[in-house]
Structure 1
């Protein structure tokens, strides 16, 4: 009778139901984990700076910046999801089925909330640029708070269905592994609700914003006198290029982070290893690291707020009244 080698099993005493240990060499594991931990740390720090800035400085208490609840969802992606994903890559899953289901709940909840917060910011910018005169009446603090709460409620509700599906399939996989396995129906729903619909909305809104911005710039150009025509034309071209560049960065980065994961989800999950799946998930999570760069670092108020926080001027009395805008 042939004796099976149990040295590569997570739980050797569970010969028939144990998963195999991760096969990463120690040097590969150290290098990979160092890079991923650095990304996780940067994600936490950048989003924490956004949260502190918006919550502390009174001048930033505007409807637009209330939408930076995006920073909260992205902060927890860096604080919870990324470290747990690193744990999955490096070690056998020894936290049990309950923690696996909770981890899957966090994945779907935080990622979905992050995606739809981006959609809310897109809608806010669309109204601000396309309907500037109606912006104060259409976008109020109360309405924004309701929209943000609705966003998180819908994300949590969908996550409960995903988690229930994961719980049903959890007993069918081996012990020592945590897989986000859902039915084809919920997978299709997730593809539509968390990718196709928000991506379409964001692209349509930003294209509309770009068209309006260009038309406004051309209208202003037509009213400029001949004396300053050439300098105005140069400034307008720079404005158009800046708008196009910003639009390109927003759309390309968003699609670059999300397309690989959802293209992967359309293919049989067994075609790639668990490590490849985790790397694709990390690319998915990387959008939470890039969001604060795209939505905050390009704004002067954020740089001023970071300077006040880093130099500890935030501890001084009356620092919340600092002029940042």
Structure 2
């Protein structure tokens, strides 16, 4: 009877903070669910952090990789690194039902989470623009897409993410105590105006741009493919010149496509609102968004030989050799 009595909902063992009257109750987790959560926490975040660190080290170290396209991939890797380092562990702790790190850390966690996701979305828009220029105007690509312009674009995207998130989460940052109903809770609270602005600016506008740009790219790429088949001999040199840009553009297209597959379902589901967001389906869709940050480096490994070679040099510690930054990666 004593053993049964320990599971009494009113008992202190079921509260996040037993010493507080307004403590949130601990949710019940079956042994299998607890084991699955632990397995995910021990595998996916470390893998995400490791893979994105490899991308950052590769692009930063090897001079041949200092290109406008790779700078965009570097920015994306930084946001994905934040997802693996902060968002994944924090979200698993938050969804466990007992937030033990306090209101201030909760507010900062939600801020970093929004900054990382916002920066990722803007990076995908910039990657789509890069792909558009490479396909639709390949002869002027090197003049239009320069390191200086891409650097300014990346800096502006991060600055916008920090400012936009601060405005959207203003109440959560200034008055974190207003967002909780009990101790041990970490909730994101929006008013109607902020929620409407976030849906438009954070989802509808960027995803609309990504879809529109990539639709144009697809149409142009198909027309170019038909033209190339007809003029193989007459324009052989031009075809060879375009081939690296076309290959890079296809790889970036796969990256954007996977992003949309991982990101769009949760955003569409979240528009429903209400209690549905607490369902197991929502938890899976949130996890799908985060897994995208782990999948991106795997896309690089699949499509980019330079990434595979860079990983070999990093893992074998040959990057510490003299002039290793001058290594030929292609």
Shorter chain as normaliser: what TM range? Answer: 0.7 to 0.9
CA contact (8 A) 1:165 1:183 kept: no
**TM-score, scaled to structure 1:** 0.85
1:82 aligns with 2:88: yes
| Structure 2 residue ranges without an equivalent (≥5) | 1-8, 234-246
TM-score of the two chains, using structure 2 as the length reference:
0.84
**Structure 1 5/278 Cα, relative in aligned 2: closer, same or farther at 3 Å?**
same
Compute the displacement of 1:276 (Å): 6.0
2:317 is the alignment partner of 1:312? yes
1:324 deviates by 1.0
> Does the residue aligned with 2:181 lie in a helix, a strand or coil?
coil
1:118 maps to which of 124, 136, 149: 124
- Decide whether aligned partners of structure 1 residues 184 and 296 sit closer, same or farther in structure 2, where only a CA change above 3 A counts: farther
Aligned residue for 1:125, secondary structure, equals: helix
1:165, 1:278 → 2: CA distance?
25
Q: What is the aligned partner in structure 2 of residue 105 from structure 1? A: 111
Structure-1 separation of matches of 2:11 and 2:201: 45
Shift of 1:307: 1.5
Shift in CA distance, 174/37, structure 1 to aligned 2, threshold 3 Å? same
CA contact (8 A) 2:131 2:249 kept: no
Structure 1 match to 2:267: 262
Equivalent-residue separation in structure 2 for 1:303 and 1:243 (angstroms): 15
Deviation at 1:248, TM superposition (A): 7.6
Give the secondary-structure state (helix, strand or coil) at the position aligned to 1:7.
helix
SS in 1 for 2:314: helix
Contact 1:169 1:182 in 2 (8 A): no
What is the CA–CA distance in structure 2 between the aligned matches of 1:201 and 1:79, rounded to whole Å? Answer: 29
Q: What residue number does 1:232 align with?
A: none
- How large is the Cα RMSD of the aligned pairs? 2.7
1:1-325 counterparts in 2 under 5 A?
4-15=10-21, 17-68=22-73, 69-90=75-96, 92-167=98-173, 168=175, 170-171=177-178, 172-224=180-232, 249-250=254-255, 252-273=257-278, 277-295=282-300, 297-325=302-330
Conservation of the 8 A alpha-carbon contact between 1:210 and 1:243: no
Deviation at 1:106, TM superposition (A): 0.7
> How far, CA to CA, are the matches of 2:261 and 2:206 in structure 1?
15
Q: How far off its partner does 1:291 sit?
A: 2.1
User: Is the 8 Å Cα contact of residues 104 and 176 (structure 2) preserved in structure 1?
Assistant: no
Deviation at 1:14, TM superposition (A): 2.5
Give 5+ residue unaligned stretches, structure 1. 226-241
Question: How far did 1:244 drift?
Answer: 11
Number of equivalences: 308
Note if contact 1:88-1:178 (Cα within 8 Å) is conserved in structure 2: yes
Q: Is the 8 A contact 2:124 2:256 kept in 1?
A: no
